[in-house]
A and B are shown apart, each in its own frame.
Chain A
Amino acid sequence: MHLPDPSTDTERARRTVPLAMFAVVIIIVAGASIGGVAAYYSLRPGSPSGPVAVTDDLGRHVKVPYDPARVAVLGPSILDSMYRLGLRGHVVAVDCYASALGGLSSDYSSDQVALWNLSSSMCVEVGPTFDVEQLLAFSPQLVLAATIVSVAAVEQITQTYDIPVVMLQPATLGGIIVDEQILGEIFGVSSAASSLVTGLQSGLYQASSLTLNLTDNGTPFPTVLVTYSADANGYWTFGPGTFGESLIELASATSISANATLPYPELSGEQVLASNPEFIVFGTGFGLNESTYSGGPFWSQLGATQNGHALGLDSNYFTEPDPTMILVGLPELIAILHPGVSA
């Protein structure tokens, strides 16, 4: 009968414990490493070399290269987002509307041209005719386009030239936030996108707080005419479903065109006179100023002009669905419509 040697058992036990501890440490380290890597990649949209799958604002499912270095941005609102996310360096081409006629200045204000360091050598003509040749000359890896570009042209770029196109044209203010997340995913700047999104959400929250305060206090909302053009017949303004109208609502005001049937109606002089809004906000930039509007009907007879409540605001704030609309345009509009009240 073979009896175990107690000394050998002790020796074995002495060796087994450190081995087991070593194995546990290895398992923990390996597990942590695998978990860490998995967590790292689960936070990122895809591996740096692999494509990223996104769904754009038109519901198109697009596979795009991760963090592309050469991007054509066809829409000022998208360039605003790219700039705020620190991605201006990726932009090699921008949209121009009929470069012979207006070039950059027809799509971008002079402030935007200076801020974003744009030049006419970056132009891709998008309208009325889309110049595919100019786009190809920039060899973009990705095209980010608003609907100023025809969807048929977009499909041609994708299918014929194999350049992925992501359409970023939000339908609502909330859509702006979604677009920042899409860009964060594509370029691997999720943290920058998150802080931008937080800023946007905060801007929207502050505006809604103002609305709640006014409602609670029983303070009526001021009436306003926001106009972007005027002629002898009347004033062109924003109707239901437009960003201009959404911004007015968020700024706790009532647009005199809130019940219009068209998205961009022209209110006749008599309609404006009858409504006699407390405020008039007229669009500026692109060569527009007060004299553009003062030729409109009954301008000098309107209460707002007589009381000094006719003020200018950059037209882009009402038309370009981008972070600037919420972060800058909304507070400035609130400051005009609610002097003395901070949102």
Chain B
Amino acid sequence: MGAPAAAATGSPRTAERRTWVLGLLTAILAVGVFLSPILGTVAIPAGTVLRILLHQLSGGALFVDPCTGASVPAGGCSGLVEIVWDARLSEIVLAVLVGAGLGISGGTLQGVFRNPLADPFLLGISSGGTLGAAVVVVFRIGVSEQNLVLPLFAFVGALATAGVILAAARSRFGSVETLLLTGVALSSFLSAVLSLLLLYSPSGSLQVDFWLLGNLGSLDWTQDGIAFGVVFVAAGLLATFGRELNLLQLGSEVAQSLGVDARRVRLRLLLLASLTTAAAVAFTGIIGFVGLVSPHVVRRVAGNDYRLVLPGAALVGAGFLLAARDLSLIAFPGTLLPIGIFTSFAGAPFFAYLLFRRPWASTMGGG
């Protein structure tokens, strides 16, 4: 029995290690979430930011005047509260949700396809989402409610693309290779449709830019709430498939003999990963490398047990995206770079480092 099979059965020591690793990652992430609002494009003293956070979290009981000593804008202290609480914190919460969603989807897809290069965008899901967003912008659909209509169309576009992939998976040609190639073909096709659409509407391309480059800003708590609902449920369900994914690494026949309906499990995992990715891209656009890198980081640190890889990839993904946001603000003070640019800048060399430190096969835990 290989490592994944052994991991599938589990042991008290494995469970203890899993608890420690996940606990540590959660603690690091919690500290990051609390400190990240200090960084933003407008200079606000760290003490003021923390006072505002505690004031808001305590429902106004703590620090009655949280802006004491700070230089307040023309709008008064409420202006600073809006910046910290509504603009920064909603962005940070979204970074955590999207990072977690992309991380766990990446881990799932790498497991399903048994391919270290699989990530949520390989299947063309993001291209479908981008096309959905572009349709709203170019045809000016729902102008007065575009902050909700646009993510809705993006979500539908991403899910429709995922639907095609799932249909391919259900067909008799639904081998792993066919699915991957279907995704690549679909992605290229949708990109071509998008380019054509934007050629006829150049002003639309300005607005779709933010989608293509990934973007955490321009969001609010309503959108955070929607993202939370979808990502939490879908990612939570994904995290329960660790044992099945461990067995799938041994091949469909072995998994079948150990009581796992490989085809059905694969289909469910694809559906949940697609749903998670669609919810993530609907609000932020394309953010590369999070889904690709996060599972590899967990594997390097804690091994190949998917019961640890999946929740671990979610936590690492959340931390990665949050760190990318913070580092971009440190590297380019006062400037909000599209986050997708920065994750690719940071993710590509880091991924190369991981690959050259350890061969692909061993990072996947297979042979």
Binding site for B on A (CB under 8 A): 58-60, 70, 92, 98-100, 125, 127-134, 136-139, 147-148, 150-156, 159-161, 169, 262-264
Contact = CB atoms under 8 A, between A and B. Distances in A.
Nearest to A154: B146
A159 B203 contact: no
Given A150-B210, A155-B146, A264-B202, A100 B83 contact: no
B137 A129 contact: no
B109 to A, nearest CB: 27
The 5 closest A-B pairs by CB, nearest first: A139-B75, A139-B74, A155-B147, A100-B335, A160-B220
B52 to A, nearest CB: 13
B150 interface: yes
A129 B217 contact: yes
A263 B137 contact: no
B226 to A, nearest CB: 14
For chain B, which range describes its interface: under 10, 10 to 19, 20 to 34, or 35 or more residues?
35 or more
Nearest to B143: A58
A276 B106 CA distance: 56
A147 B146 CA distance: 13
Given A134-B41, A136-B73, A150 B207 contact: yes
Contact of B87 (A92, A129, A132): A132
B82 A161 contact: yes
B207 to A, nearest CB: 4
Contacts of B79: 136-137, 139
Nearest to B208: A150
A152 B150 contact: yes
A130 B217 contact: yes
Contacts of B88: 133
Contacts of B76: 139
B336 A131 contact: yes
A284 B243 CA distance: 65
B54 interface: no
Contacts of B40: 133
B335 A150 contact: no
Given A156-B219, A159-B147, 14 more contacts: A125-B335, A128-B210, A129-B339, A133-B83, A136-B87, A148-B206, A151-B143, A152-B218, A155-B145, A155-B147, A156-B220, A160-B86, A160-B221, A263-B200
B147 to A, nearest CB: 4
B256 to A, nearest CB: 47
Contacts of B140: 58, 151
B337 A129 contact: yes
Give the secondary structure class of A's interface.
mixed
Interface in B195-221: 199-203, 206-207, 209-210, 213, 215, 217-221
A128 B215 contact: yes
A127 B143 CA distance: 19
B42 interface: yes
A21 B300 CA distance: 102
Given A147-B207, A156-B219, A128 B147 contact: no
B332 A100 contact: yes
A60 B335 CA distance: 30
A161 B86 contact: yes
B338 interface: yes
Q: Which of A58, A139, A154 has the most CB of B within 10 A?
A: A139
Contacts of B213: 128-129
Interface string B75-108: 1100100110011100000000000000000000
B208 to A, nearest CB: 9
B23 interface: no
Interface string B134-156: 00010010011111101000000
Contacts of A60: 143-144
Interface in B215-257: 215, 217-221
Interface string B43-55: 0000000000000
B2 interface: no
Given A60-B144, A98-B335, A136 B82 contact: yes
Contact of B335 (A99, A136, A262): A99
A151 B220 contact: no
A136 B81 CA distance: 10
A88 B146 CA distance: 30
A151 B207 contact: yes
Contacts of A98: 335
A134 B42 contact: yes
Contacts of B219: 156
Contact of B218 (A92, A99, A156): A156
20 contacts: A127-B206, A127-B210, A129-B337, A129-B339, A132-B217, A132-B218, A133-B88, A136-B42, A136-B73, A139-B75, A150-B137, A150-B218, A151-B146, A151-B207, A152-B146, A152-B147, A152-B207, A153-B217, A155-B146, A155-B148
